[in-house]
Structure 1
Amino acid sequence: MIDSTTPLRATDPAETRAERRRLVESVGAHRRLLAARRPFELADRRRLDREAGERARAGARHGKALQRVHEKRARSERSLTAELNGLDGKRAGQERRALAVLRREAVERSLRGTRLTAGEVNGVGAGLIRDLAAQGIRTAADFTRVSWGKAPGGRGGDVLYIHRTQGRKVHINGIGEHRGRPLMEWRRAAVARAEARAPHELPPDDRHRIEEIVEKERARLRAELAELPKASETAGAEAERLHAERLAALTAAERDAAEEAARRRAGFDETAERLLALRAELAAHVDRYGDLGFRDRRARSRALRPLPAPPEARGTAAPPVIPAPRTPETGVREGGEAAEPAPVPTASGVRASLGWLVPVAFFAVTALFGAGVTAATPLWFVVAGRLVALVMTAELLRLWIPRRDWRTADAMPRGTGFLAAGVFLGLVAASMFMDPLYASDSAPWALAVVSALLVGAGAVRRTGGGPGAAA
């Protein structure tokens, strides 16, 4: 860097022009480098918004994981408690089923022991007994019922079939309706005797065995119920560990990104200070050697154009594009003012609300159809009211549309809501003054007073405050 206090040695016109050209080109080069600061700040603001969103999503996932752990524990507790409460009924059911099996086995043993002999069934003699035995029917347990059906081979009329317990139905020649009915009555009597002799209660050994099974099940359910808090704590600790790992990864990434942003911002500040020094040197050169012609003026005007300011962070003053130069040793700016680090822009995360479309729609409808237009309304009032509504519609859209863009997102200016409400009430009050039905009432005057107060409050807030939550 060339010190602006160093006397310039160029005396030859060619050398003077070359020195001037070098200074102008250096200023232009530094200016082009600083032109990248605004896109960088916008990208950094989007990065901060993105990091905030990632942290919010991580917190939401963590909350859902803990909620799932809690719900799973509650479901398991309800299920285990219901099973514990139902063990007594389960034991009674097992005892009923075991008794039913025991009685069925006793009845089957009794029926197998009841043999069919000659003389027990009316009309069934030794010959039919042999024929039945040849078909596997020897006891009351070997058949279940009788039925009528077509004769074997399809010849003849209906015949009586005996249904075996295991196997197909058979027809015994000589056993028809008169012998089939006594045969079934004999079996029913055998079944009734077997059921009467069957046990009506479980033996103590079987009851004790079922009790042991139920108690083992009860102990298992109680153990699982006692383990639920520990399992829930383990799952919650795992969710906390995963959340902590995610936050640590986000913090590390944010720290690296913030360090890179600070490094680039420091580079921009250094470039801005070098640009200030070059401009001062260029101004000293111009003061010493004067104007060098049209091309020199044109080159200097291009190089000295003002730079666009970087986006302003909410709640902070905009950092200067070109800060005042400071000495490297003390960090004090020229004039004895202490140098302050440029504030780091942070993402506002605020966009103009979609609710602003409501007043926009009101004013747009008023611009199209007028405010309280009747047959007695003068033409000049109709035109003036629609023009005012159209101007308010355009103004609200001008303020609202850029503040919805993610690159220039911001809240509506303070006082905008008061101004919009005041103008709308003013149009309504003016239309009531023009209407003979309301002109003599006090309602138009009340609306006019409220409208004037709202417009005044909005104007004060607009002139006295910057962007913020629009009221």
Structure 2
Amino acid sequence: MNNRTTTATRDPLSPAGIRAERRRIIESIRALRRLLRKRGAFEVADRRRLNREATERTRAEEAHAKALRRIEEDRTRREGSLRRDLDGLDGKREQREARALAVLRREFVDRRLRNTPLTVAELNGFGTGLIRDLAAHGIETAADFTKVTWERSPNGGNVLYIHRADGHRVHINGIGQGRSRPLMEWRQAALARAEARAPRTLPPDERHRITEIIEAERTRLHEELAASARATDAARAEAEQRHAETLERVAAAEREAARLADLRRAEFDAMAEQLLALQAELSAHMDRHGDAGRRIRRAQRRALRPVPVAASTATPTAAPTLSAIPSPRTPVDLTKKPAPEDRVSPGWLLPILYFAFTTVVGVGELADNTAPVGLMITSRLVALATTAELCRQWIPRLRRRTPGRMPSGIGWQTSGVFLGLAAAGMFVDEKSDVFGAACVVSVLAVLLFLAGTGLRIRPSDPVRPS
């Protein structure tokens, strides 16, 4: 028996050999399909990579623009300050000349007052003794005192004080209100004569010195302006160099990632072509040898399912299947708001809430009705399963990155489950005679659920293998 089995297995024309060859082809197709299932995740990852690269390039451009803007702002601030200083040089020269003239006049007046001594001939009412007393207290010329004041003394009464130029004040016996007036008039006359003879213009050499200082300051400011322009150019050139290096690095990374993605995509394309060749081989084997048995019929049908075709490799006349993911060649904005027809309807929230409510309260248990224990458990399990399936299909399609429509047939299934639960509640209703209506509703629920299941299993527009 073992010899006959071995001979039959080795003979390719025997039924066992035909089944073995067909299983080999089917297993090869399964292995390739398992590998090709990774293409969807690869294409999504490649699309995200392209968006990351575009984001990185945008950030590099924004950083470069920000650096240039900061350099320009610094240049504008520095040059504005320097130009304001340049514009104020003329006024600064006038201020310097005014201060120098004021110092010159003050020194001249001070010299003239020091050259005006206190004498008996100049002051009426002052004798030699008072002149000596004034000299003893440091008052010998008109420059040695500034004013006289009447103040209260510690012993009571008013005392006349003479304020010296160094800030001290002295009291001299014999000088009262009568003698203080001619003393101050004599000083005011000496001060008026000195101010009248003081110079009113700067000497040429002093004016020339101030002009040289201002011109040196002007030259320095012009040099700082030129240095600021050179520094700005150097900073801009450095920023351009850094930007170019960043772009080159990003471009090199993009080229390498694109090369690896193309290699991976070529592998998937080669596997898809190999899968089509194996499907053609399986079809030819089926045509040549016919049916190989009931056990591998389902495996044959699954093996001959259409192959997902990427949009980049599909012909204009061939429409890709719903599972096909296009191969992106340009960055795709995953945050872009999808078209209204590509988004799932928010109205699906109503059946989700209904089935969630049914999971809690069950069917036929409202008011005074009491449902059997089996129906209580079964209805809750059915409502819970329906809620979970609807949430599983609806929630991902609300996201920006994975928008889409609900699968074909899920509406029919949802309607069938709803009518089935309604029919179950009608069967256990003890207060109304709706048995006939419950039967009709239950039959309709079964038909709707079966129709929706058929649409879920087999898409409406399958693509035949070529």
TM-score by length of 2: 0.57
Change over 3 Å in CA distance of 1:281–1:93 after alignment to 2: same
Structure 1: gaps spanning 5 or more residues = 1-6, 322-341, 357-400, 410-471
Alignment of 1:266-281 (within 5 A): 266-281=266-281
Q: Paired residue for 2:102, among 100, 109, 120?
A: 100
Distance 1:266 1:297 in 2: 32
Equivalent residue letter for 1:347: P
Aligned to 2:458: none
242-251 or 230-239, which deviates more:
230-239
Change over 3 Å in CA distance of 1:146–1:306 after alignment to 2: farther
Aligned to 2:333: 349
Distance 1:228 1:317 in 2: 65
- SS for the counterpart of 1:144 is strand
Q: Deviations over 1:304-343 (max 9, x none)?
A: 6666665779xx999979xxxxxxxxxxxxxxxxxxxx96
Shift of 1:187: 2.9
Distance 1:343 1:16 in 2: 39
Change over 3 Å in CA distance of 1:210–1:32 after alignment to 2: same
Alignment of 1:21-100 (within 5 A): 23-67=25-69, 80=82, 83-100=85-102
Structure 2: gaps spanning 5 or more residues = 1-8, 341-395, 405-466
Aligned to 1:428: none
Alignment of 1:381-400 (within 5 A): none
Aligned to 1:111: 113
- SS for the counterpart of 1:201 is coil
Does structure 1 conserve the Cα–Cα contact (< 8 Å) formed by 2:68 and 2:239? yes
Q: Deviations over 1:101-137 (max 9, x none)?
A: 1111222222333334456445555555555445544
Does structure 1 conserve the Cα–Cα contact (< 8 Å) formed by 2:336 and 2:400? no
- SS for the counterpart of 2:200 is coil
Alignment of 1:142-161 (within 5 A): 142-152=144-154, 155-161=155-161
Distance 1:60 1:207 in 2: 55
- Which entry has the higher C-alpha Rg, 1 or 2? 2
Distance 2:213 2:138 in 1: 41
Does structure 2 conserve the Cα–Cα contact (< 8 Å) formed by 1:24 and 1:303? yes
Does structure 1 conserve the Cα–Cα contact (< 8 Å) formed by 2:117 and 2:142? yes
Change over 3 Å in CA distance of 1:97–1:34 after alignment to 2: same
33-42 or 15-24, which deviates more:
15-24
Shift of 1:283: 4.5
Distance 1:68 1:271 in 2: 54
- SS for the counterpart of 1:55 is helix
* RMSD of aligned alpha carbons: 4.4
- Number of residue-to-residue matches in the alignment: 334
Change over 3 Å in CA distance of 1:300–1:125 after alignment to 2: farther
Alignment of 1:307-456 (within 5 A): 344-349=328-333, 405-406=400-401
Aligned to 2:184: 184
Q: Deviations over 1:208-244 (max 9, x none)?
A: 2122223333344445556666555444433332222
Does structure 1 conserve the Cα–Cα contact (< 8 Å) formed by 2:310 and 2:327? no
Aligned to 1:218: 218
Distance 2:128 2:397 in 1: 113
Distance 2:183 2:339 in 1: 92
Change over 3 Å in CA distance of 1:345–1:163 after alignment to 2: same
Shift of 1:169: 4.1
Shift of 1:156: 1.7
Alignment of 1:213-292 (within 5 A): 213-224=213-224, 232-283=232-283, 288=289, 290-292=291-293
- SS for the counterpart of 1:33 is helix
TM-score by length of 1: 0.56
- SS for the counterpart of 1:258 is helix
Distance 2:317 2:48 in 1: 19
Equivalent residue letter for 1:242: R
Percentage identity across aligned positions?
Answer: 56
Change over 3 Å in CA distance of 1:354–1:13 after alignment to 2: closer
38-47 or 269-278, which deviates more:
269-278
Distance 1:312 1:175 in 2: 118
Equivalent residue letter for 1:56: T
- SS for the counterpart of 2:199 is coil
Does structure 1 conserve the Cα–Cα contact (< 8 Å) formed by 2:152 and 2:159? yes
Distance 1:274 1:354 in 2: 35
Q: Deviations over 1:280-307 (max 9, x none)?
A: 455556564735445x455556666666
Distance 2:95 2:279 in 1: 100
Distance 1:156 1:143 in 2: 25
